[in-house]
Chains A and B, each alone.
Chain A
Amino acid sequence: MDAPDVNPHGAAAKYTDTPGKYYVIYACVLVLAGLQFFIATLHLDTSAMFARMLLVAIVEAGLAVMFFMHLWAEKRGWFIFVVVFTVFVMLAMQYGWTDSKRMENGAPYTQPKAGVIQQ
C-alpha cells in the first residue's frame, strides 16, 4: 500500500483514486462480510461468536471509513479528531456490560426468590 496521503496543510480528500483501488476495497469488504456469514455457520457459543464477529466488523468498518469515506486522505488533524473522539465515545458506552452479566447471573436483586415478595 502507498504511503498515507494524509496532508497536514494541503487540500482535503480529492477522490482521484483509480476505480481499481475502489474495486479492491469493495472486494475486501465483501469477503469480510462473507466471513461473518461463514463464522455464523460454525455454531460457536455466543461469546466466542460475538468476539469473532466484532473483530471482523471493526476491520470491515475501518476499511469503509478509511477508503470509502476517504478519512485516510483527510487532514491529519481532522483524521485524529474523528478517530479519537469516536473511539472514546464507543468505549465509554461499554460500561453497562457488567450489569447485564449481573442480570444474567441473577444476583443480587434481579431474579425473584421463592417466598420473597418483590417491591
Chain B
Amino acid sequence: MSAEMTMEAHAHHPPGMIEGLPPFVVPAKKMAMWLFIIADAATFAGCLVAYGFLRNGTPNWPRPFESMTNAALMTFILLTSSLTMLMGVRAAKASDRSGAFRWTMITMVLGIVFAALHIREWLELIHRGMTLSSNPWGSPHFGAAFFSITGLHLLHVSGGVIALLIVGLGYNAGHRNAEDMEVTGLYWHFVDLVWMFVVPFVYLLNMAR
C-alpha cells in the first residue's frame, strides 16, 4: 500500500481497522510484552496446576515451613517494588529523567533484596536435607516441585533486575525512552503478580489442617 493510500485510508477509517497500523493500535513493544506475559502466565499456571496435582494426589505432602515471616517479608518487598516501579514509569512519562532513574534503581535494589531472601531460604532448606529428589519430611516430589516453581520465579526476578539496570541506566543516559520504561514496568508487575499466587499455594497452604 502506497503512502498516499495509507494516509487516505487513515482519514476515512478508525485506527486499527486498516492495513498499516499495528493490531489494536497498541505500540509494538508493549504488545510484544503483553503477549509474552500471557504466554508466561500460562507457563506459571501450568507449574502451579502441576504442583496442585501432585499435592492433591500425595497423602504425605511435606510441610517444612515452620514460620511464614520470611514469605511475608518477601511479599511486602515485592509489592513495594511494584509501587516504586509505577512511580518510575510515571516519572518517565512526565520526562523526569532523574526521578525515573531514582525510582527504577530503588525497584532494582528491592528486587535484589527479594532474591537474597529467597536464596537464603533455599540454602536453609538444602541444609535441612531437601534436594530435587528427596527430603526428610515426606513425598520426594516436593523438592522438585518447590524448587521448580520458586526457581522459575527467582529466574524472572533476576532477569527483571538486570533489565531494570539496563533500561534505567539507558533512560538516564538518553538511549532509552519512556516506552522502554513502561514495557519493563509491565514485566516487573507481572513478576509481582505471579508471586501473589505462589505464596498462597506453595507456602500458606502448608498451614491447612
Contacts and interface: CB of A to CB of B under 8 A. Distances in A.
Instruction: Please indicate whether A and B come from the same complex rather than being unrelated chains.
Output: yes
Interface of A: 8-9, 12-17, 19, 22-23, 26, 29-30, 33, 36-37, 39-41, 43-46, 49-50, 53-54, 56-57, 60-61, 64-65, 68-69, 74-75, 77-78, 81-82, 85-86, 89-90, 93-94, 96-97, 99-101, 103-104
A36 B34 contact: no
Interface size class of B (residues with CB under 8 A): 35 or more
Contacts of A74: 26
B203 to A, nearest CB: 8
Contact of A15 (B75, B76, B80, B182): B182
A interface SS class: helix
Given A43-B209, A64-B193, A93-B45, A77 B24 contact: yes
Contacts of B136: none
A52 B90 CA distance: 34
A104 B58 CA distance: 7
CB-CB nearest 8 A-B residue pairs: A103-B57, A53-B200, A40-B204, A100-B56, A78-B24, A40-B207, A46-B208, A15-B93
A13 to B, nearest CB: 8
B49 A49 contact: no
Interface string B5-41: 0000000001110000000111100110010001001
